[in-house]
Amino acid sequence: MAWYGKKSVDNDVVLSSRVRLARNVEGYPFGRHLTDDRARELIGKIGAILTPSGYEAVDFTGLDMIGATAYVEEHIVSPEFAGEKGPHTLFKNDKKNVYIMTCEEDHLRIQCITPGFSLDEAYAGAIEAESLLDSSLNLAFDEKLGYLTHCPTNLGTGMRASVMMFLPAITKFGKLSSIARQLSKIGLTVRGSYGEGSGSTGCLYQISNQVTLGVSEEESIEKLKNIVASIVDQERKLRDAMTKDDVWNSVADASARAYGTLTYARMLSFSEFMKLWCDVRLGIALDNARKMNGQPGGTGIPSSLSYETLDTLFIESQPAVLTLLSGGTPMSPAERDLRRADAIKRRLAVV
């Protein structure tokens, strides 16, 4: 079990936090300028440091499409890394919160993923792993430019801190584009939930820092934390506005219907699942808000259905993870839809 499925802070709005550090090693060219032999040599060097410290190596060159894509769906590696042709290896720690991609765009992409709104924890985890590598590798650095990266946009700290947020109310009220505009003015950005260039699946967004040079890691994280806190606030306020009886009735209806479909459907595509998932997650949030306000609630969804279970369901319903969990044999989309509905039904039956 990775970052999902754990109890965490502010998880009615924030699913996970992540800090990623881009690092390179002196003397080795970057990206496609690095030959396969030298890439293997570099990965060997990195492995010699990480393996004794309890990291497990996953050689992606030996992984099939389904296996590699599953890591993308779990938000552990980038789609670029999964599609990389040359030697590339993922190292993961035994606590399953630090994941180090080697020979992606940069030689090292050190990331720590933690559940809920927990950027400090994620930063500490990434730094711990980086310090371990720094003690035995000549990390490429310049006093003026900071950590030297393949793409100049990552120079400086090489750090990307981000949070994955569930923002159905902000989306419904059409406030997202104005938030995105404001964020871009202060060096932050909003993306769909799979990183660069991807559209958003069902009300999930990733918010991260953009500028890396001239701003220290702590300053960057502090700024992101403040902004995320205010977005969490705004989302909750808008959700509160939705607890008024007339809106609430239609939300509760949509969410009860969605839960009904999830429990009884025989076939579910991932996109249909995501819509239902959003409705259920929002229904639970509003129900809690109404109870807090002393208003009568009740959606028909068992109160024991937690955000953690829902988030696990989200990860496990994606095509590649679902295929792996069902034994790894490739399935047709229709077979997958049957399997998905079945898995969800069984998971919800034990809630």
Question: 117 and 3 in contact (C-beta within 8 Å)?
Answer: no
Beta-carbon contacts of residue 282 (< 8 Å; ≥ 6 apart): 168, 169, 203, 239, 251, 255
For other proteins, the closer of residues 18 and 340 by Cβ is 18
Q: If binding is defined by CB under 8 A, does position 26 make contact with other proteins? A: yes
Q: If binding is defined by CB under 8 A, does position 173 make contact with other proteins? A: no
Nearest distance from C-beta of residue 120 to other proteins, angstroms:
15
Q: Give the count of beta carbons closer than 10 Å to the beta carbon of residue 14.
A: 25
Of 1, 27, 37, 185, the residue at the interface with other proteins (CB under 8 A) is 27
Q: If binding is defined by CB under 8 A, does position 304 make contact with other proteins? A: no
Q: If binding is defined by CB under 8 A, does position 196 make contact with other proteins? A: no
Of 62, 95, 143, 329, the residue at the interface with other proteins (CB under 8 A) is 143
Beta strands (DSSP E) in 259-345 are none
Q: If binding is defined by CB under 8 A, does position 84 make contact with other proteins? A: no
Q: If binding is defined by CB under 8 A, does position 238 make contact with other proteins? A: no
For other proteins, the closer of residues 134 and 308 by Cβ is 134
Of 4, 28, 60, 91, the residue at the interface with other proteins (CB under 8 A) is 28
Of 118, 157, 171, 317, the residue at the interface with other proteins (CB under 8 A) is 157
Q: If binding is defined by CB under 8 A, does position 296 make contact with other proteins? A: no
Nearest distance from C-beta of residue 114 to other proteins, angstroms:
19
Q: Which amino acid is at 50?
A: L
Instruction: Round to whole Å and give the CA distance between 220 and 209.
Output: 7
Q: If binding is defined by CB under 8 A, does position 160 make contact with other proteins? A: no
Q: Could you say which residues in the range 199-218 bind other proteins, by CB under 8 A?
A: 211-218
For other proteins, the closer of residues 2 and 159 by Cβ is 159
Residues near other proteins (CB under 8 A), total: 40
**Which of these, 42, 2, 40, 41, lies nearest to 23 by C-alpha position?**
42
Nearest distance from C-beta of residue 146 to other proteins, angstroms:
3
DSSP characters over 181-219 = HHHHHTTEEEEETTSTTPPPSTTEEEEEE---SSS-HHH
Q: Kindly state the helix (H) or strand (E) to which residue 1 belongs, with its residue range.
A: none
Instruction: Round to whole Å and give the CA distance between 181 and 188.
Output: 9
Q: If binding is defined by CB under 8 A, does position 53 make contact with other proteins? A: no
For other proteins, the closer of residues 21 and 242 by Cβ is 21
Q: If binding is defined by CB under 8 A, does position 64 make contact with other proteins? A: no
Cα Rg of the chain, angstroms: 21
For other proteins, the closer of residues 155 and 165 by Cβ is 155
Beta-carbon contacts of residue 56 (< 8 Å; ≥ 6 apart): 91, 92, 93, 94
**166-183 per-residue burial string, b: 16 or more CB within 10 A, e: under 16:** bbbbbbbeebbeebeeeb
Nearest distance from C-beta of residue 165 to other proteins, angstroms:
25
Q: If binding is defined by CB under 8 A, does position 81 make contact with other proteins? A: no
Task: Name the pairing type of β-strands 141-142 and 146-147.
Answer: antiparallel
**Chain residues in the site for other proteins (CB under 8 A):** 24, 26-31, 33, 127, 131, 134-135, 138-148, 150-153, 155-157, 159, 211-219
